[in-house]
Amino acid sequence: LYWLPCSKQVARLHINALSKVTDWLAEKHGATSMNPLVEADSLTQRLNYAAWFRKNQHNFLGHIKDKHINSTVRYARSVQGKRPLGKQSQDAIEFPERYFEAFYFDGLGGAVDRRVALRDQLILLLMHGGGLRESEALHLWLEDVLIDPSNPNSVMVRIYHPEDGKAPNNWRGRSGKTTRAAYLKEKYALSPRNDLMGKKRVGWKSRVTDSKDEYLDVHWFPTVFGEVFAKLWQDYTRFLTGVERNHPYAFVSFHREHTGNPYTLNAFHDSYRNGLKRIGLKPCKDDGLSPHSHRHSYGRRLRKAGVSEIVIKKCLHHASLESQAVYTTPTAKEVTSYLNAATQQLLNPTEPVEQIGTPSWEVLTEHDFNDIDPDGLFTGKNPKLGKRNGY
């Protein structure tokens, strides 16, 4: 057939699909199965058992299911395909801090239209200093920015869920609903942006919110980002008073053909690329030169400052601690630094200090915590999270 070789993952998908088709033909029409189950060797049986155990360990209703090992563990397909290579956790590529000042002032801030510069700088602050995703920033309404009662020079920013978030100013619709979806429908005859199609769509990823009113709190870090945002916000809202808007969204287009329309992701990406171009850079996700890399910068900054994992989870609005493991994975530069320090220790050894007394908590948690920490987030010899990783 002259087919080019495909990847191991794709090959296994094809094998599984063909196996199910021939099994169906054998069951319904008496045909011969092309890939029947055969007695598995000892290695395959152990792998099947490990897969069965992991599936039951992570099953929400696993406690009510049969704990006996299924008989199929002892069997395997005669043709399985090659096993794919394992992969370690990927680095969260952050935006290079050495470029941030130039990108803020001369990149996005170098736009000819002052209104455009202010708008894009505000979105950048939300991503880089508040850890928001670019899509979350575009869901901001004017009413969602409030003076911070603990710091009059800063602001509190809340990003409400586009559908279920509470409408502003205690609004209640004709049917008694108080959600933003109802508010948009009655006031503007609009649908939430995550329900739209095409270029106007702005998605929503977060599965957790910080309040029963369904909003995300922006936690500025360092806190000076909130003060800078407050100053720019005052200037931006002054410009916005002269723009006709038929919607409640804060960030709008200033293009002559679309003035006043909600700002789209595609338009922001164009402005972002132009900002990088002004300082001599090209967009490159692998180098951290992309909008989402600012969220990674925020997470890495928190980790380097020694902020606890549970607080980082709150700041990034993650549903689980496992979601932020990517931010604790050491970078290649950090690995090199650790190995250089270990080399110096190897070449210049010091006398070990004999420990007397009760072992430390770290030593005690190296073994036998699979029942309460099956993923090894905090226990084991190599925990994924926590200060034992050197962070």
Query: Does residue 227 fall inside a structural domain?
Result: yes
* Host domain of residue 372: 359-391
CATH number of the structural domain spanning residue 188: 1.10.443
Please identify, among 303, 337, 367, the residue that sits at the C-terminal boundary of a domain. 303
Structure tokens at 283: 């967009």
Please tell me whether residues 379 and 236 are part of one structural domain.
no
Please tell me whether residues 262 and 368 are part of one structural domain.
no
Query: Does residue 48 fall inside a structural domain?
Result: no
Per-residue model confidence (pLDDT) at position 388: 47
Please tell me whether residues 295 and 382 are part of one structural domain.
no
Of 270, 312, 320, nearest to 295 by C-alpha is: 312
Please tell me whether residues 265 and 368 are part of one structural domain.
no
Please tell me whether residues 244 and 383 are part of one structural domain.
no
Query: Does residue 151 fall inside a structural domain?
Result: yes
Query: Does residue 134 fall inside a structural domain?
Result: yes
Count of the separate structural domains present in the chain: 2
pTM, two decimal places: 0.76
Per-residue model confidence (pLDDT) at position 157: 98
Per-residue model confidence (pLDDT) at position 143: 96
Query: Does residue 78 fall inside a structural domain?
Result: no
Please tell me whether residues 243 and 385 are part of one structural domain.
no
Query: Does residue 316 fall inside a structural domain?
Result: no
Please tell me whether residues 293 and 366 are part of one structural domain.
no
What does the pLDDT profile of the chain (391 residues) look like in tens digits? 787 888 888 888 989 999 999 999 998 998 888 888 888 888 888 888 888 777 777 777 777 766 666 677 788 888 888 877 766 555 678 999 999 999 999 999 999 999 999 999 999 999 999 999 999 999 999 999 999 999 999 999 999 999 999 999 999 999 999 999 999 999 999 999 999 999 999 999 998 999 999 999 999 999 999 999 999 999 999 999 999 999 999 999 999 999 999 999 999 999 999 999 999 999 999 899 999 999 999 999 998 898 988 999 999 999 888 777 777 677 778 888 889 999 998 998 876 655 556 677 777 777 767 766 777 777 887 787 765 444 4
Please tell me whether residues 153 and 274 are part of one structural domain.
yes
